Amino acid sequence: MSKIKPSQGAPYARIMGVGGYRPTRVVPNEVILETIDSSDEWIRSRSGIQTRHWASDEETVAAMSIEASGKAIADAGITPEQIGAVIVSTVSHFKQTPAIATEIADKLGTGRPAAFDISAGCAGFGYGLTLAKGMVVEGSAEYVLVIGVERLSDLTDLHDRATAFLFGDGAGAVIVGPSKEPRIGPTVWGSEGDKSDTIKQTESWEAYRNGAPDKFPAITQEGQAVFRWAVFEMAKVAQQALDAAGITADDLDVFIPHQANERIIDSMVKTLKLPEHVTVARDVRTTGNTSAASIPLAMERLLATGEAKSGDTALVIGFGAGLVYAATVVTLP
């Protein structure tokens, strides 16, 4: 018989609060057209994107995260000192070590929580949310701060016609805490590493350090391959998340997919046969693709505008570089 004492966590976990931060600079398509041969109509028809936000020098990964986190903490009605873990999902913090989560935790005044970064691209928020749920239920932390944050403008090749218009900057954060009822469903997640070359950094930091290439590394992707994968495979994953939660599309109030491309969103809505009453996040139009930040930013905007309300049942799904994905059903805070 084991002598190890069983964990004393909560029966379930829930999202208690959400916060977001968008940089002050709004960048319309006209600015993008200064460096690529395209048109505003083409960009809108291919992606739905009209504007995006780009960070200033002062709007660092840490600074944006702190702003979003402060709002999430206030929304949850807790104090920073109560946070037992900080999870940051990002691919655009350029220091290999230490984890930016430790700096954010310190500047928020959280005390001495567990703090670490994860790299899961556009599925990063879903990965972080799943880890946070496990911590709360297992009992290693009562409240967990999950942050998705990106400065993708630093990794954008403004002369690449396929990607120059896609990416934006921002941070989204949620507080995950204990619940007496299931408010975060089972996660359907995974990876398809055989397709990892479809979204990638152009060159390694090592190659850049050694002088080849002379251009700063950027994010590139095979647009058509990514589009087909997202449309056909991720709708299946979304359906699996609904099945795992024991609900159908008719039970949904809100759909919050990764804000990669409005055509992908429209195709998923059609494939999933979502009823007209389901509110669909379309934050991509004015925020662009912010990778790990896109789902919490979209969630925060829907709640702030009243398009979604506390207690709504939402399906969230992230997918991207890796290729990785994560989908789950949640109750909105």
Spell out where 32-168 has E strands: 51-54, 83-89, 114-118, 143-151
Is the bond preceding residue 178 a cis peptide, omega within 30 degrees? no
Backbone angle region of 48, left / alpha / beta, with phi > 0 → left and psi within -120 to 50 → alpha: left
Q: Assign 238 to helix, strand or coil.
A: helix
Q: How many Cβ atoms from other residues are within 10 Å of residue 50's Cβ? A: 16
Residue type, 331: T
Find, among 328, 307, 306, 309, the residue nearest to 319 by Cα. 328
Question: Cα 309 to chain center, whole Å?
Answer: 20
Is 289 among the catalytic positions? Answer: yes
Residue 210 known to be catalytic: no
Catalytic residue among 29, 93, 122, 261: 122
Token couple for 69? 């986190």
Q: Which of 29, 93, 261, 289 is catalytic?
A: 289
Q: Which of 53, 93, 258, 261 is catalytic?
A: 258
As a whole number of angstroms, the distance between CA 79 and CA 176 comes to: 13
Which string of b and e fits 209-219 if b means at least 16 CB within 10 Å?
Answer: eeeeeeeebbb
DSSP 24: S
In angstroms, the CA 317 to CA 96 distance is: 27
H helices within 112-222, ranges in order?
124-138, 205-209
277 included as an active-site residue: no
Helices (H), 77-144: 100-108, 124-138
Report the amino acid identity of residue 188.
Answer: V
Does residue 98 have a cis peptide bond before it, meaning omega lies within 30 degrees of 0? yes
Q: For residue 308, what is the DSSP state? A: S
Cα(126)–Cα(120) distance, integer angstroms: 9
Active-site residue list: 122, 258, 289
